[in-house]
Structures are given as structure tokens and as C-alpha cells.
């Protein structure tokens, strides 16, 4: 089963569904339509009891997802645009996080920004040695994560590592990601897809209700630390002169000049 929207390909391999982000020429950067496909696929697989596991991956070897397509930020001119964008992304990421199936992110290359958020929303991350994670917004755009985005990162790698990731804008390579608990396994590229399918089939063979209850119980525990939305913090970043400069500099392929206002 494949999807008509070729920026996102949906297919079945036995009890395992594969969702592939298919813009390799743009390092699989996400458009709003691609984000909406994630929601549609989550809705669809919950209606099919024969699908037991969902795998997400990116086309090609250079990226899982290299964030949101930055061209879409050029239209941000008022507070509602920023709030609507973060609410929209939060809705998509939360839908992925709460889908009633175990999820695996299979990652080669970059999982950056929105790509890192999608990867962190999955239950497991199995990666190639060239995988790199990061949210380099303090170097590139000058925007921010939502408070839910920060909470997801903190739940996986802790507050100090989350701050380090944002403050330094450095990429986390596969070995460091595994060391800090962000990655479950590192597998050589020639074996990666086959191995992920094998792991997914192993999960699919186990008791689905037990797995679903485990997933929801873990989420329930983590939700006790989830913060309320804080739109003031969001707008402080998105309505700043620095954010406009960050977007323009990114699209013009130059280094931004931060003013702190």
C-alpha cells in the first residue's frame, strides 16, 4: 500500500508499516502537507489490527528529516502565525507519540530540528553509524521549541544534555547518542533496514495489548512532568528581530547577525 502523495510513502511489509519521508533532494525537510500525512497514517493504522508496528524513515542515506522546510517561515508576520505553527507541530508530534502501535525511527544521516522531534516521539531509535541528532536553532534560526518539545528531550536525555544541545547547537553523533540514551542500537547501513524489519516483526509477534498498555503507562508517568503551554516564551523568540534575521540568513546561505532583540 503506497500513498498518492509521493513526498511521503506508506507501505506494508507483513505486520509492519513503513512510512518514508521522500524528499531526499531537500534532506527530507518537512512541508506542512507531509506533517499532516503523519496524522493521517496514524489514524489509518489504528483502524487495521493487522498492522502491529510502525517504522518511520527518510529516503536516501543523508537524512532522516532535516527539519521543517524553512521557506514556510517567510510568511510569519504576527503572533498567531508562530502560535499556530507550534500548535500544529505539537499536534502532529503528539499524534505520533500516542499512536496505539509501537514505533521505530530508522535513521541514517541527519535528524535535525523537526526531524529530531519526530525521532524523539518514537518509541525506539535504531540508527546507522552516520546518524546525527541536533536542534541547532541557537545557531540557525533563533526560534525555540515548544515547552512540550523541551519536555520530550528532557525525558530522554535529561535537563543538562538538553541545555547543552540547544546552547551549543552541536550535532550529537551516533555513539554519543547511544551513550546518553537517545539511541537504542547502531547497525551498519547494509544491515540496517533488514535488522529494523526483524526487530519490528519480533515486537509484532508479542502480545499487542501488553505492548499498548506498556506504551500508555510509560507515557502516563512521563506526562506527570509535562509543563503547561507557555505562549509568552514562544512569542519572545518567534516575534524577535533575531528570528527574522535567522530565517533570511538561512535562506541566503550566510551567517546570521544576532542583535539580541
In CATH, 8-203 is 3.90.226.10? yes
pLDDT of residue 4: 42
pLDDT of residue 260: 87
pLDDT of residue 158: 94
In sign, the C-alpha dihedral spanning 145, 257, 68, 236 is positive
Cell 505539537, residue?
90
127 phi, psi to nearest 5 deg = -135, 160
Helix or strand (DSSP H, E) at 134 = strand 132-134
Cβ–Cβ < 8 Å for 82, 76? yes
The domain limits of the chain are: 8-203
49 phi, psi to nearest 5 deg = -65, -15
pLDDT of residue 227: 61
pLDDT per residue as tens digits for the range 209-253: 999 999 999 988 887 765 666 778 778 888 888 888 888 888 888
pLDDT of residue 145: 86
pLDDT of residue 1: 42
pLDDT of residue 259: 87
Distance, in Å, from the CA atom of 20 to the CA atom of 30, rounded to the nearest integer, reads: 12
pLDDT of residue 225: 61
pLDDT per residue as tens digits for the range 31-49: 889 999 999 999 999 999 9
CB atoms within 10 A of CB 185: 15
Q: What is the pTM of this model?
A: 0.88
pLDDT of residue 138: 92
- Residue ranges of the chain with pLDDT lower than 50? 1-4
Amino acid at each position: 500500500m503506497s500513498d498518492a502523495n509521493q513526498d511521503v510513502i506508506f507501505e506494508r511489509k507483513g505486520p509492519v508499516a513503513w512510512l518514508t519521508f521522500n524528499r531526499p533532494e531537500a534532506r527530507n525537510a518537512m512541508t506542512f502537507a507531509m506533517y499532516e500525512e503523519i496524522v493521517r497514517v496514524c489514524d489509518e493504522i489504528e483502524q487495521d489490527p493487522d498492522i502491529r508496528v510502525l517504522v518511520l524513515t527518510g529516503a536516501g542515506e543523508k537524512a532522516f528529516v532535516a527539519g521543517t522546510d524553512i521557506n514556510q517561515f517567510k510568511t510569519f508576520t504576527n503572533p498567531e502565525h508562530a502560535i499556530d505553527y507550534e500548535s500544529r507541530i505539537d499536534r502532529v508530534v503528539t499524534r505520533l507519540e500516542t499512536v496505539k502501535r509501537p514505533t521505530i525511527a530508522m535513521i541514517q544521516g541527519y535528524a535535525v530540528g523537526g526531524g529530531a522531534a519526530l525521532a524523539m516521539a518514537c518509541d525506539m531509535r535504531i540508527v546507522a553509524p552516520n546518524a546525527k541528532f541536533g536542534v541547532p536553532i541557537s545557531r540557525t534560526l533563533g526560534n525555540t521549541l515548544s515547552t512540550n518539545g523541551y519536555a520530550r528531550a528532557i525525558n530522554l536525555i535529561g535537563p543538562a544534555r538538553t541545555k547543552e544541545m540547544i546552547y551549543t547547537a552541536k550535532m550529537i553523533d551516533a555513539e554519543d547518542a547511544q551513550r546518553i540514551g537517545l539511541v537504542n542500537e547502531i547497525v551498519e547501513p547494509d544491515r540496517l533496514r533488514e535488522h529494523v524489519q526483524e526487530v519490528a516483526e519480533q515486537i509484532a509477534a508479542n502480545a499487542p495489548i501488553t505492548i499498548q498498555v506498556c506504551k500508555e503507562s510509560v507515557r502516563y508517568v512521563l506526562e506527570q512532568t509535562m509543563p503547561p503551554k507557555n505562549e509568552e516564551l514562544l512569542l519572545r523568540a518567534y516575534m524577535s528581530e533575531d528570528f527574522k534575521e535567522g530565517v533570511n540568513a538561512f535562506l541566503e546561505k550566510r551567517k546570521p547577525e544576532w542583535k539580541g532583540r
